[in-house]
Amino acid sequence: MTTVNILSGGAAQGLVRGLSDAFKAQTGLGIDGQFGAVGIMADKLRAGTPTDLVILTQALLAKLADENLVVASSITDVGRVETALAVRSRDPKVTAKTEADLREVLRSADAIYVPDTKASTAGQHVAKVLDQLGIASEVAPRLKIFPNGATAMRELAASTAARPIGCTQVTEIIATGGIELSGALPPGCELVTMYTAGVTAGAAHPKEAAALVALLTRADHRELRQRVGFAG
């Protein structure tokens, strides 16, 4: 089957999957996607990976357009995604209404599951927050770092630690069985990221890629976007 090729942040994986049947019915094409840390996905595009559509952070899409890798006129906001805390389904939920609360939650965990702290949006933010809270060195031995949020959350679900916790984007938490969305990050530590889609300059199927952007952002798909963790 002919496919539209996507490079996307892991945040959009559930949304794309939820619309794959509708896209096939509309265009006759399937979707072949790679989902992961946004920095790695951008580098794959730069390296020449055949790609029709990218779904990455708003700032990164603007940069790729400046590099003439994405058609600027095609760029469309999909929605905002919050970074939050996760726990295993069998564990009590934790809340952190203040920075002090979050510091205590993280210090009390014997394993902290996070995505790539250098290439992923949520992982970079976690590293920043740990520095901000003054506990980066203390909790470093307990950090469990994985290539993307989806993998980190699957590993959290399977964790045998006594008091594990995870931190990544809400969309990846919701999409993973065996874990639960526990709570938002407190004021001063929060992160809400706008994800944006754009057709690549070298797209083999630009019309179909644009059709997928339209599906992702249609007003009547707002409920689906909210269900998988997007706001706005």
If asked whether residues 35 and 71 sit together in one domain, one would say yes
In a domain, 189, yes or no: no
Share of the chain above pLDDT 70, in %: 100
Q: pLDDT digits over 119-159, tens only? A: 899 999 999 999 999 999 999 999 999 999 999 999 999 99
For position 1, what pLDDT does the model report?
77
Query: Which tokens go with 34?
Result: 């790679």
Q: What are phi and psi of 124, to 5 degrees?
A: -60, -40
Give the pLDDT mean for 198-209. Answer: 97
- Residue among 117, 118, 115, 165 at smallest CA distance from 142: 165
If asked whether residues 214 and 224 sit together in one domain, one would say yes
d(CA 99, CA 104): 9
d(CA 111, CA 155): 11
pLDDT at 89 over 80: yes
Residue 224, SS3 per DSSP: helix
Q: Beta-carbon neighbour count of residue 181 at 10 Å? A: 17
If asked whether residues 74 and 149 sit together in one domain, one would say no
- 209: amino acid identity, one letter: A
If asked whether residues 166 and 227 sit together in one domain, one would say no
Q: What is the CA radius of gyration of the chain?
A: 18
Give the pLDDT mean for 4-19. Answer: 94
Burial state string for 213-231 with b = 16 or more CB within 10 A and e = fewer than 16: bebbbeeebeebbeebbbe
d(CA 186, CA 108): 17
If asked whether residues 144 and 86 sit together in one domain, one would say yes
If asked whether residues 200 and 162 sit together in one domain, one would say no
If asked whether residues 72 and 21 sit together in one domain, one would say yes
Query: Which tokens go with 105?
Result: 């939650």
If asked whether residues 179 and 203 sit together in one domain, one would say no
Task: Indicate the pTM of the whole model.
Answer: 0.88
- What does the DSSP 8-state code read for residue 179? E
Which residues are registered as beta bridge partners of 196?
56, 77
Residue 70, SS3 per DSSP: strand
In a domain, 177, yes or no: yes
In a domain, 160, yes or no: yes
Its domain, for residue 44, covers 3-79+194-231
d(CA 8, CA 70): 13
If asked whether residues 47 and 131 sit together in one domain, one would say no
Quick check: 114 and 123 in contact, CB under 8 A? Answer: yes
If asked whether residues 94 and 171 sit together in one domain, one would say yes
Beta strands 53-57 and 3-9 are parallel
pLDDT at 19 over 80: yes
In a domain, 114, yes or no: yes
Average pLDDT, the chain: 96
Total domains in the fold of the chain = 2
Q: Token pair 């639960």 is at which residue? A: 180
pLDDT at 232 over 70: no
Q: Write out the E strands in the chain.
A: 3-9, 30-36, 53-57, 76-88, 111-115, 143-146, 164-169, 179-184, 192-199, 230-231
If asked whether residues 14 and 40 sit together in one domain, one would say yes
